[in-house]
């Protein structure tokens, strides 16, 4: 499981966009939760943190892995 901090989400549409972007990354088996309130996403699978962060950035938001 990996946890990401997501910056730039302001509404439900943003949450859906981030969820869709993360779900498309190779190795993701489940997008557990994308929380607008906490500005976080939880992802399960073998995808690298770098690929997850890049997918979020390509969707128009900023992300970083929580260690």
Euclidean distance between CA atoms 58 and 1, whole angstroms: 21
Domain that holds residue 50: 2-66
Burial class from Cβ neighbours inside 10 Å (0-12, 13-18, 19+) for residue 1 reads exposed
Q: Give the global pTM.
A: 0.94
d(C-alpha 9, C-alpha 28), whole Å = 21
Q: What is the pLDDT of residue 67?
A: 77
User: How many structural domains are present in the chain?
Assistant: 1
Chain segment 6-17, per-residue pLDDT in tens: 999 999 999 999
Stretch 44-52: mean pLDDT: 97
Mean pLDDT across the stretch 19-40?
97
Q: Residue 40 and residue 57: Cα distance in Å, rounded?
A: 14
User: Which CATH number characterizes residue 45's domain?
Assistant: 3.30.70.100
């Amino acid at each position: 499981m990996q946890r990401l901090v997501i910056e730039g989400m302001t509404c439900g549409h943003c949450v859906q966009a981030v969820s869709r972007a993360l779900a498309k990354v190779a190795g993701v088996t489940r997008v557990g939760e994308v929380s607008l309130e906490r500005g976080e996403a939880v992802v399960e699978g073998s995808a690298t943190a770098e690929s997850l962060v890049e997918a979020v950035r390509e969707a128009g938001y900023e992300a970083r892995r929580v260690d």
